[in-house]
Amino acid sequence: MRSKRVLDLPLNIIAETNDLLVVNKPPSLPVHACGQYAIHTVLGQLRYNHNRSGLRVLHRLDRTTSGVLLFAKNYETDVEVFYLRNWANQYLSHMITEFLQFFSSEEVECNEPIGVLVISMGIQCVRADGKPARSLFKKLWSDGKRSVLSVKLYTGRTHQIRVHAQFLGYPIVGDQLYNSTVWGPQKGKGAEYCKSYSELCDDVRNAHKCSNWHETIDPEYELRMAKMADEEVTIPATIHVPSVLDRPLYDPICLNCNVVKREVPRDHFQLYLHCLRYSTEKWSYSTPIPEWAIDAEQLPSMKHCDFLGI
């Protein structure tokens, strides 16, 4: 089985103690193995390129999200961090249009409850029967068409920033899940979906099912498999099982290797959402600001979050 493609970006270690490992996760890498992602994961890269293993995931970031990611090195730290109070995490996001153009202040707080819409895909939405969620959005700069914001989370719901940004009417740039008219004419602004939750669930699921990425199967593959089905199979006395690193890039009997796939857009690999800082009552870790979040005209020397004063 082929591993899915990822962006050629470095996975940098920010800090390391006897108990914690902190990295700056690049976009496109899932945190751990899932589906066709085996080596191309954060844990996989740490194991093969940095000789780090036995790590415990303290929190997760979406595959397309970048930024601060923490791991515990032992069970005791895992438990200790779980019970720490006063967690604070801060994100940067890139949104379409002039943010806050309808608000008098430079900050907007969203307290809409968030619940599951498509369980199998982990897709969320604002709904009255959801769990409490609180996000504080603060505009950093805007060019009149797009804005970069700082977002502070007070709760940790799945896709919280993406869902609240959608509710406010300013979805994140390139967000294939939540920046789409499948959520209604206004892309889910104000939770006005113009359809029932059942209909919305079906529409969103159909818009993102994996079969949408596949095209026709190679006709020669079907002929080859039909011929193999008619042949007698001889099982060798010994079977060599290659390691993950030795597996071929192409397998003539693998269905996934014999379909013509659509060209994958960059939005599939990168979401303009970055975890800038993670803090507790005991420590705080942060990353440099990504290039897409820096306003070259207004903040030419800003390279690290400490310059933001937020």
Number of separate domains in the chain = 1
Catalytic (active site) residue 143: no
Report phi then psi at 30, rounded to 5.
-70, 160
Nearest Cα neighbor of 114 from 99, 102, 128 is 128
Residue 279 lies in a domain: no
Predicted confidence at residue 297, as pLDDT, reads 53
Q: Is 91 exposed, middle or buried (0-12, 13-18, 19+ CB in 10 A)?
A: buried
Mapped onto helix, strand or coil, the DSSP state of residue 269 is coil
Residue 55: how many other CB atoms lie within 10 Å: 20
In whole angstroms, give the CA distance from residue 196 to residue 283: 45
In whole angstroms, give the CA distance from residue 116 to residue 59: 19
Q: CA angle at residue 12 from 271 to 1, to 5 degrees? A: 65
Residue 40 lies in a domain: no
In whole angstroms, give the CA distance from residue 236 to residue 215: 35
112-150 burial by CB neighbour count: b if 16+ within 10 A, else e?
bbbbbbbeeeebbbbbeebeebbbbbbbbbbeeebbbbb
Residue 75 lies in a domain: no
> What Å distances lie between residue 179 and 92, 184, 191, 243, 308, CA to CA?
17, 10, 13, 40, 27
| Joined tokens for residue 257 | 């290797």
What is the residue-level pLDDT of the chain in tens, covering all 310 positions?
456 778 889 999 999 999 999 999 999 999 988 877 778 899 999 999 999 999 999 988 999 999 999 999 999 988 888 877 667 788 888 775 444 444 445 789 999 999 999 998 899 999 999 999 999 998 888 777 778 889 999 998 999 999 999 999 988 888 989 999 999 999 999 999 999 999 999 999 998 877 666 667 888 888 888 888 887 777 777 777 777 677 777 888 888 788 776 777 777 888 899 999 998 888 899 999 888 888 655 444 444 444 343 3
Residue 245: how many other CB atoms lie within 10 Å: 7
15-26 burial by CB neighbour count: b if 16+ within 10 A, else e?
eeeeebbbbbbb
Output the domain CATH number for residue 183. 3.30.2350.10
Predicted confidence at residue 213, as pLDDT, reads 63
Residue 197 lies in a domain: yes
User: How far, in whole angstroms, is CA 142 from its chain's centroid?
Assistant: 24
Predicted confidence at residue 7, as pLDDT, reads 86
* H/E element, 94: strand 88-96
Residue 116 lies in a domain: yes
Residue numbers of the domain that contains 200: 88-208
Residue 160 lies in a domain: yes
The active-site residue, picked from 62, 203, 230, 251, is: 62
Residue 129 lies in a domain: yes
Predicted confidence at residue 220, as pLDDT, reads 84
Residue 163 lies in a domain: yes
**DSSP state letter for 183:** G
Residue 72: how many other CB atoms lie within 10 Å: 20
* H/E element, 137: strand 135-142
